[in-house]
Chains A and B, each alone.
Chain A
Amino acid sequence: MSAGAKKRIMREYGECINDTPPGMKINFDEQNMTEWEILLDGPEQSVYSGGHFKLKISFPTEYPFKPPVVSFKTKIYHPNVSNDDKGSMCLGMLRPEEWKPPNKVVSVLRLVHSLLIEPNPDDAIEPSIANEFKENRKEFDKTAKDWVKRYAK
């Protein structure tokens, strides 16, 4: 990873501390600054309220020319988070073909935050969950809350 990229990540970290989206805490390790650990409280107004989620943000060596990779380490029932051991979230600006170098981690964090409040079933990674979200919101809410109790306490 180039010195410029490291410098930018440092800079972005500084920016994130000053402007962290609500309910998020960033664990930053200077020895391994390309892997950020995010502790995220489920937003109050969402079905994930009360849950504590652990996320990982990995910066590729080509950063900022390639997007950071966001993955949920805590299991979450969400149309935009893959329901596997990766827990990857890949939509919008995180998509490789959508990513632009001027995008910033802080906007990635905001995207994650807003997606917890309002999932985007039209750009889902889990079609069945997205379908349930659209067709049977009650059942979706129930399962999501159940998973919060089970996995995110």
Chain B
Amino acid sequence: MDQSDRESSQRAQTPAHRDMMYCHECHDEWYRDEHGLTCPECGSDFTEIIEEDHDPRNDEIGNREDDDGSMPPLEERPPHLHPLFHHHPWRDNDDPEEGDLSNFQWRQTSPGTFAVTGTIYRTVSPSRGGGGGNQNVQNPLMNSFATMLNSIVGGGRPGAQRQGQSDEAADGQATPGANSGPGIGTAPGGHRFTYHSSARLYPRDPDHPGPRLEPVDELNNVIMGLMAALGEPPGHQHNHGPSDHPHTHPLNPLATLFSHLIPGNGAHGDFVYSQEALDRIISQLMEQNATGNAPGPASQDDIDSLPKKQITTDMLGPEGRAECSICMDEVNIGEEVSELPCHHWFHHPCVAAWLSEHDTCPHCRQGISKSNENENSANATSGSSSGAAGGANTNASNQMPGAFGITGEGTLDHPFIVSDTPEQRRGRSSSDRQGRPSSADEGNSGGSLSERLRRGLFGAPR
């Protein structure tokens, strides 16, 4: 957002402007109308009103060039709740030396906005034997994370040991013992890596006190920084310490970590990381809801009132024979069958068994219920012209969600189309009489995901 936009929107939210005070002694901030000009915290008079064009805090930050805690805290929760509380690979190391910080720059890009860039060299040694990594050995995820960190910080060890390390990373098994031991001090064995970060700082909202956390750094960048520390992708800053060694890349421990995060098919709990996994979840949901989306049973009245019909010669196939496609029994001339509105016919007991669970024709899926007929035609409409679907939907009043009501009228843009005329159905049913499913039916039985989705949402095409 543009700076001016931001300010104007802030002003719009807070009609009454309140002066914000700042204490140069203890860096406290308060409202002037609440505590006056003297710092309520330390009682100092060395205070200043924060103004939009002059924010004393910016100067303060800008002056702290030697401040290594330059990153605003990303999260502030009690240390015992922090999952990595016990994991302190750098527990025994001092904070970075002043000389480790270089290229540290503050640049004002616009009033109140600073770009901060800096390079921090940290020399670290792996955690001692009792380090946090061990405490989570039973947890593969944490274990893997420990492996990663150990690999990062232990990267500078001699070649032979690195070999062993690749293996250990491959297993996802941390062997902290290999990383501990007296020989590894801070300087000689330590591996230096560069973490490059830039952050934008904005002034706090004077009217809404409280920490304002701007995104300090993209997680990607942080991870890329770690990758760079491993010597992974070229083009990223990385720096080898005094014990510079030939490039031997251990198996990327990050990969091991992510393989734990994303097992096999990429699904992890309720989260997915790939299109396939999403497809699988959608399929699963569709299958769970299959009965919910499928048409319910036809009413007994509708089943009972199906017209009965006697088999005549013209209902037989070209070979002079026909069968009920449910029980596959041959039918003879004069035998009584039940005919559905779509003109497909079956033995009455056969089709009744099916209809009592699904209100669809076993062949073409058209429903038999009178109340359903409208809905079915509307579905046919939405199937044949997607534009009509929206139009029909806006006119649907008392339909279930996802069902479309029929209006029976169309506009010039969205004409009302009856996709299947009775004549066509009759033609199709005669081809079915030869005991061969029509090609349209076979098309329905395939199913790309989108096709299934559409069918799941809008009902099976009829």
Chain B's closest residue to A3 (CB) is B327
Q: A122–B275 Cα gap in the complex (Å)?
A: 12
Task: Given the known inter-chain contacts A4-B350, A102-B362, A123-B447, please indicate yes or no for A96 contacting B290, CB distance below 8 A.
Answer: yes
Q: Are B445 and A102 in contact (CB under 8 A)?
A: no
Asked whether, in the complex, the Cβ of A65 is within 8 Å of the Cβ of B353, the reply is yes
**Complex-state Cα separation, A130 to B448, whole angstroms:** 13
A97-B460, A123-B449 as given contacts; A7 in contact with B327, CB under 8 Å:
yes
Q: Is A103 an interface residue (CB 8 A)?
A: yes
Interface residue? A87 (CB, 8 A): no
Smallest CB–CB gap between A111 and chain B, Å?
9
Contacts of A92 in B (CB 8 A): 445-447
B contact residues around A124 at 8 Å (CB): 276
Q: Is residue B328 within 8 Å, beta carbon to beta carbon, of the partner chain? A: yes
Which of chain B's residues has its CB closest to A99's CB? Answer: B445
Our count of residue pairs bridging A and B at CB distance below 8 angstroms stands at: 78
**In the complex, A23 has a CB within 8 A of chain B:** no
Hey, which chain A residues are within 8 Å of B277, CB to CB?
Answer: 127
Q: Which residues of B contact A127 (CB under 8 A)?
A: 265-266, 274, 276-277, 279-280
CB neighbours (8 Å) of A95 from chain B are 287, 290, 447
Partner of B437, one of A91, A103, A130: A103
Kindly list chain B residues whose C-beta atoms are within 8 Å of the C-beta of A11. Answer: 328-329
Please tell me if B202 contacts chain A, counting CB pairs below 8 Å: no
Q: Are A102 and B437 in contact (CB under 8 A)?
A: yes
- Contact B441–A122 (Cβ < 8 Å): no
Return the CB mask of B261-293 against A: 1 if under 8 Å, else 0.
Answer: 000111000000010110110000001001101
Contact with A along B234-266 (1 / 0, CB 8 A): 000000000000000000000000000000111
Taking the nearest CB of chain A, how far is it from the CB of B281, in angstroms? 10
Instruction: Give chain A nearest CB distance to B227 CB in angstroms.
Output: 24
Q: Are A98 and B329 in contact (CB under 8 A)?
A: no
Check A97/B290 contact, CB under 8 A, given A11-B328, A127-B277, A128-B265.
yes
Chain A residues positioned under 8 Å from B294 (CB to CB): 97
Taking a contact as CB atoms under 8 Å apart, the answer to whether A131 and B444 are in contact is no
Cβ contact within 8 Å between A101 and B325: yes
Closest chain A residue to B360 by CB distance? A100
Q: How far is the CB of A117 from chain B (nearest CB, A)?
A: 16
Residues of B within 8 A of A91 (CB): 447
Specify which chain B residues have a CB less than 8 angstroms from the CB of A102 in the assembled complex: 325-326, 362-363, 432, 437, 441
CA distance A96 to B452 in the complex (A): 12
Query: With A65-B353, A65-B354 known to touch, is A8 a contact of B447 (CB < 8 Å)?
Result: no
Asked if A12 is an interface residue, CB under 8 A from chain B, the answer is yes
CB <8 Å contact, B327 and A4:
yes
**Chain A 90-115 per-residue mask, 1 if CB under 8 angstroms from chain B, else 0:** 01110111101111100100000000
**A93 contact from B264, B274, B445, Cβ within 8 A:** B445
Pairs A-B, 10 closest by C-beta atoms: A127-B276, A102-B325, A93-B445, A97-B290, A101-B326, A101-B362, A122-B448, A11-B328, A8-B328, A4-B327
Interface residues of A (CB under 8 A from B): 4, 7-8, 11-12, 64-65, 91-93, 95-98, 100-104, 107, 122-124, 127-128, 130-131
A-B contacts, 15 of them at CB < 8 A, read A7-B328, A8-B326, A92-B445, A95-B290, A97-B294, A98-B447, A100-B363, A102-B363, A103-B437, A122-B448, A127-B265, A127-B266, A127-B280, A128-B276, A130-B276
Seen from chain B, the residues whose Cβ lies within 8 Å of a Cβ on chain A are: 264-266, 274, 276-277, 279-280, 287, 290-291, 293-294, 325-329, 350, 353-354, 357, 362-363, 365, 432, 437, 441, 444-449, 452, 455, 460
